[in-house]
Amino acid sequence: MIQYNLLSVAKRFTAYESLGALFRNTKAETIQLTVTEKIWQIIIGIFASLAELLEIDTELLMEKLISDNEQLEKLINYKNLLQAG
């Protein structure tokens, strides 16, 4: 019985992973996602302001810009994936 107790205590201290280590990665991902969402809000706000100045529909402006730029289209698709997840 004493041997079991000693081995269990030894295992507890050697195989220990703190909750802090577990949540550090989650916190970093959450912060990154929040920053990404804020950037997208700013971009959408810029598009809305630009569309208002040009007196055209915001969605029409975005569609025209996306259709001319494959890289921007990839970013928009990435945004949709983030919203779906």
| CB count in 10 Å sphere of residue 67 | 10
Structural domain span for residue 38:
2-84
pTM above 0.75, yes or no: no
Q: Are 54 and 61 in contact (CB under 8 A)?
A: yes
66-81 per-position pLDDT tens digit: 776 777 667 777 777 7
- The pLDDT score that the predictor gives to residue 53 is 86
Q: Give the number of C-alpha atoms closer than 13 A to the C-alpha of residue 50, restricted to the C-beta side.
A: 12
CA distances from 29 to 18, 19, 51 (A): 18, 16, 33
Q: How many domains does the chain have?
A: 1
At residue 85, does pLDDT exceed 60?
no
How confident is the prediction for the chain on average, in pLDDT? 75
